[in-house]
Chain A
Amino acid sequence: MTAGSILDKLRAPDIEEVSRGIRLFSGIKGQVNQILSGCIDDMASGAIDSLDTGLLIKDEAVDKIGPGFILAEKMNVQSKRLSGIASLMTGPVNLYAFALTLGKRMDTFINQMMKDSVTEAFLADAAGAFIVEHLAEQLEKQIDGELGNLHLECTARFSPGYCDWGLADGQAAISAFMDLNEIRVSLLPSSILKPLKTLTGIMLSAERVPEKTPCSLCGDKVCRYRRKC
């Protein structure tokens, strides 16, 4: 599994999908007037034209799983809940880390829109947010599929800030594990990734993965990150 081979398989959404995504991410329900509808389509088109996607993937065998941590070479994932599901896995556990970016042109596009119209800037930002999530979902499925071909199972993807995996710790861990400069991504002291439409995360794999997320083992039913797997 290489970043290049996976990137080739990721399909950028079309204008219609991005327009629907903008409406979803903007909280638009129902019909809107023609002006706004036209604006949404323009921003969807502009966002797609601004894509300069980059992907980095690195995997490493997990050396140790303890209460509250998962260690894989330089990567230390400090999370009670993630280490909890890792400890339930059967067979050697592998960690896959990824960084996915839409590139600097997307930031430029959004900033350009801000000069003339707050509406366009807001919608352009929503477009970028939708597209990076859309690609990350495909990425998760691709990795899952490739591991399945090797008769391995895997967890859902987890990003720093998710569950009890601290944002600052998580971004620092991923940044130490992979050279983000390879895809022209940098990590600021405040843990912000630039370009802004960049996602990082990890997935864990093993022969058997009984719990894909810690959600089913967690009592917090109103957690905003709660997932069904």
Chain B
Amino acid sequence: MNEAELIKLVKDAVRSGNIDILKSASGKLKGDSQILLKTVILGMEEARKDLMDEKISLPEFLLSVDTFREGLKIMGKNKDECETEDKPTILIGLAEGEVHDLGKNIVSAVLEASGFKIIDLGHDVTRDAIFEGIKTLEPDLLGLSAMMSTCIPGMQETVSWIKRIYPDIRIIVGGAAIDADIAVSIGAHGFAWNASGAVEEAFRLIGS
């Protein structure tokens, strides 16, 4: 198998979520690690398109995310080494009072795999913690999520307060409790139904 075929194998392994094939193909490739990095990123992008086109289910897409992360480990890279100054930064966290963090963690993993730098504030994030995060880290986007409708009034207050102090920061919201209308009432600039949608919306807001 020549190098071009091995590169295709790596890409397809990420796209299909096959860690074993990724390890085997990567091990045979002796070359520029930047080529390998670009290949796994490409595989991840193709998997995301497959999800958007409904060719694969979310769990199949998540297998690609796991494989992508494994690809970084194989190259001996952690996420910090892959980060460049060009990567847009997203500060992400759960609304105050909210503790269901699985969805937020999945969105974070997908955004990272799609080229964003993620700083995760965790769960039950107070507005003071958000304020500190924005002040010290100067993110491009703020992402907040809530699964419980009881957290929405607090989110609304937080977004309103943040926008007064940092009018330039773009805010994206999501979670089971949120829909497009609620996102507007909260005062957010963007909204995402799911992890894949979050990537599109993040690119849109960065562009704006």
Contacts and interface: CB of A to CB of B under 8 A. Distances in A.
Partners in one complex: yes
Interface of A: 26-29, 32-33, 35-36, 39-40, 110, 114, 117-119, 121-123, 125, 161, 167-168, 188-192, 194, 196
B152 to A, nearest CB: 10
Contacts of A39: 59, 63
Interface residues on B, range: 20 to 34
A192 B17 contact: no
In the complex, the 5 A-B pairs of residues with the closest C-beta atoms, listed nearest first: A190-B97, A119-B62, A191-B150, A28-B57, A118-B109
Contacts of B150: 167-168, 190-191
A190 B59 contact: no
Given A35-B18, A168-B150, A190-B151, A123 B59 contact: yes
A117 B57 contact: no
A49 B54 CA distance: 33
A190 B177 CA distance: 13
Contacts of B65: 118-119
Contact of A125 (B66, B102, B149): B102
Contacts of A190: 97-99, 148, 150-151
Interface SS, B side: helix
A191 B151 CA distance: 9
Contact of A26 (B18, B59, B98, B99): B59
A199 to B, nearest CB: 15
A192 B58 CA distance: 25
A109 to B, nearest CB: 12
B105 interface: yes
Contact of A189 (B60, B97, B102): B97
25 contacts: A26-B57, A32-B59, A33-B17, A33-B60, A35-B63, A39-B63, A40-B59, A114-B105, A118-B62, A118-B105, A119-B17, A119-B59, A119-B62, A121-B102, A123-B59, A125-B102, A167-B150, A188-B97, A190-B97, A190-B98, A190-B99, A190-B148, A190-B150, A190-B151, A192-B97
A114 B109 CA distance: 11
Contact of B100 (A27, A114, A123, A192): A192
Nearest to B107: A118
A185 to B, nearest CB: 14
